[in-house]
Chain A
Amino acid sequence: NAGVMQNPRHLVRRRGQEARLRCSPMKGHSHVYWYRQLPEEGLKFMVYLQKENIIDESGMPKERFSAEFPKEGPSILRIQQVVRGDSAAYFCASTFGTANNEQFFGPGTRLTVL
Chain B
Amino acid sequence: ELKVEQNPLFLSMQEGKNYTIYCNYSTTSDRLYWYRQDPGKSLESLFVLLSNGAVKQEGRLMASLDTKARLSTLHITAAVHDLSATYFCAAGGGADGLTFGKGTHLIIQP
Residues of A within 8 A of B (CB): 33, 35, 40-46, 48, 55-56, 58-59, 91, 99-100, 102-108, 110
B42 A102 Cβ-Cβ under 8 A:
no
- The residue from B45, B90, B95, B103 contacting A56, defined by CB atoms under 8 A apart: B95
- How many residues belonging to B are interface residues under a CB distance threshold of 8 Å? 24
Residues of B within 8 A of A46 (CB): 97
Residues of A within 8 A of B101 (CB): 42
Residues of A within 8 A of B30 (CB): 100
A107 B93 Cβ-Cβ under 8 A:
no
A91 B97 Cβ-Cβ under 8 A:
no
Q: How far is the CA of A107 from the CA of B42 in the complex (A)?
A: 5
A99 B43 Cβ-Cβ under 8 A:
no
B88-109 Cβ-contact flags toward A at 8 Å (1 or 0): 1010011111111111000000
A42 B88 Cβ-Cβ under 8 A:
yes
Residues of B within 8 A of A59 (CB): 96-97
B42 A56 Cβ-Cβ under 8 A:
no
B74–chain A nearest beta-carbon distance, Å: 15
Given contacts A91-B42, A107-B41, contact A43 B93 (CB under 8 A): no
Known contacts A33-B97, A33-B98, A104-B45; can you find 13 more A-B pairs with CB under 8 A? Answer: A42-B101, A43-B90, A43-B100, A45-B97, A46-B97, A59-B97, A91-B43, A99-B94, A100-B31, A103-B93, A107-B42, A108-B42, A110-B40
B41 A99 Cβ-Cβ under 8 A:
no
Given contacts A100-B30, A103-B98, contact A42 B93 (CB under 8 A): no
Q: Does B79 contact A (CB under 8 A)?
A: no
B58–chain A nearest beta-carbon distance, Å: 15
Q: Does B63 contact A (CB under 8 A)?
A: no
B97 A42 Cβ-Cβ under 8 A:
no
Q: How far is the CA of A105 from the CA of B93 in the complex (A)?
A: 13
B95 A99 Cβ-Cβ under 8 A:
yes
- The residue from B35, B88, B96 contacting A45, defined by CB atoms under 8 A apart: B96
Residues of A within 8 A of B65 (CB): none
Q: How far is the CA of A48 from the CA of B93 in the complex (A)?
A: 10
